[in-house]
Amino acid sequence: MHIPTEMLHGSVCSVSAALAIAGIALAAHAARKSPQQPGVLRFAAVSALIFVAQMLNFPVAGGTSGHLLGGVLAAALLGVPFGVLAIALVLGVQALLFADGGLAALGANVLVMALLGAGAGGMLNRWLQQRGLSQHMALLLAAWLSVLLAAAMCSFLLALGGVADWSSVLPAMLGVHARIGAGEALLTALLVPLFAGKRSEAGNWQALLPVLGGVLVALLLSPLASSQPDGLEWVAQQYGFLRESAPLFVSPLADYNVAALGESFWSTVLAGLAGVLAVAVAGGVLAWPLHRRRMWIAA
């Protein structure tokens, strides 16, 4: 659901960027005060997992595809504030290195996928569990609703800029993303127990191995991702607002390929590996000053 720059009016980009900056600042403050602080390496590893998982577009009905947004997943594994920061970090790397979403639209994408997807979705998951819902049911419901909430906000931004009519784009976006959200819900409910680990195990390197294994598996599967248009692209095609424009700069790994290798299996894998390393390094740099105690691994 990465919104490209050409789909947004300039003023919408500015307003959403301001909201995104405020939201990230609030998340960073909350992360600094949070009693649940993942270790630096765990934050970096989970952020890398989210990045590579977003490369895996899966087919859905109607000739469309979707990918994991990962908001509720990140919030469940890292805590809500760190989950917001992880998704924002991934979006920043995607815009800078892969031309995915575009720099001018980065604020809008952070607003849609990080602040709403991870922030609101993560808080909803926590609230549902506090109300007695089982972990699996809470994850399923929160992950599905987080995708619909993100789709609704995306529709609002498109309508606000006059790109699409609200009464048309909202039902279309909710319809296609209800199906994508089902995949998000199933993946989230599957991956959280797999990668969460136990707190008693969190102080050793073995606690990171499942996450790192997931990164490796997803990286090798990334060239097999569906080439069908994602939900937003499909809606844009249907309603005639899918546009292309010259990028502000040439991204070195545009479209998740190494230019010198063309579109091939190893081109995608190497581009993904570069993204994983970039996210992991940036994640470590981001997480280190946010910890009250300088924890490398502990959850």
Tens-place pLDDT, residues 77-134:
999 999 999 999 999 999 999 988 888 999 999 999 999 999 999 999 999 999 999 9
Question: What average pLDDT does range 31-54 have in this prediction?
Answer: 89
More confident residue, 26 or 264: 26
Instruction: Give percent helix, percent strand, percent coil of the chain, each to the nearest 5.
Output: 70, 0, 25
The beta strand positions in the chain, using DSSP E, are 58-60, 64-66
Tokens of 180: 């994508």
CATH 1.10.1760.20 fits 5-197+206-289, yes or no: yes
Which element (helix H / strand E) includes 64?
Answer: strand 64-66
- Residue 222 has a pLDDT of 85
Q: Which of 172-176, 213-217, 284-288 has the highest mean pLDDT?
A: 172-176
More confident residue, 220 or 291: 220
Tens-place pLDDT, residues 137-179:
999 999 999 999 999 999 999 999 888 899 999 999 999 999 9
Q: Specify the pTM.
A: 0.92
Domain-wise residue ranges, the chain: 5-197+206-289
Residues in CB range of 260: below 8 A, 6 or more apart:
none
Question: pLDDT-derived band of residue 197, with 50, 70 and 90 as boundaries?
Answer: low
